[in-house]
């Protein structure tokens, strides 16, 4: 199954992680593949592909990565100014 998920482009890096570590973590724990569009595509839609039973777990991981890192990024930015 393939599930499209809307995540703002500026937050894709939080899913990728350093050298793809975020994507690898998702795959290792759920056996679900996540395709993030490249910058030239300028698309906010990522594709989550795998067994239906595991996609929910992968999506939960994605949202946790985005929310945690976006919060930290904004807190650092706020404290900087």
CATH number of the domain enclosing 73: 3.30.1370.10
pLDDT band, residue 77 (cuts 50/70/90): very low
CA distance 64 to 30: 15
Q: What is the pLDDT of residues 28-55, one digit of tens each?
A: 999 999 999 998 998 999 999 999 999 9
Res. 64: pLDDT tops 60: yes
Number of structural domains (the chain) is 1
Q: What is the pLDDT of residues 5-29, one digit of tens each?
A: 999 998 999 999 999 999 999 999 9
What is residue 35's three-state secondary structure? strand
What is residue 51's three-state secondary structure? coil
Instruction: Give the CA angle between residues 13, 50, 67 to the nearest 5°.
Output: 30
Beta-carbon neighbour count of residue 34 at 10 Å?
A: 22
Which pLDDT value is given to residue 67? 86
Q: Which residues contact 41 (CB under 8 A, 6 or more apart)?
A: none
Q: Domain span at residue 7?
A: 2-80
């Amino acid at each position: 199954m393939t599930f499209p998920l809307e995540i703002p482009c500026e937050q894709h890096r939080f899913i990728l992680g350093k050298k793809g570590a975020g994507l690898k973590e998702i795959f290792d724990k759920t056996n679900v593949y996540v395709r993030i569009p490249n910058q030239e595509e300028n698309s906010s839609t990522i594709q989550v592909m795998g067994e239906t039973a595991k996609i929910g777990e992968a999506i939960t991981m994605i949202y946790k990565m985005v929310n945690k890192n976006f919060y930290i990024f904004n807190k650092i930015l706020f404290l900087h100014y």
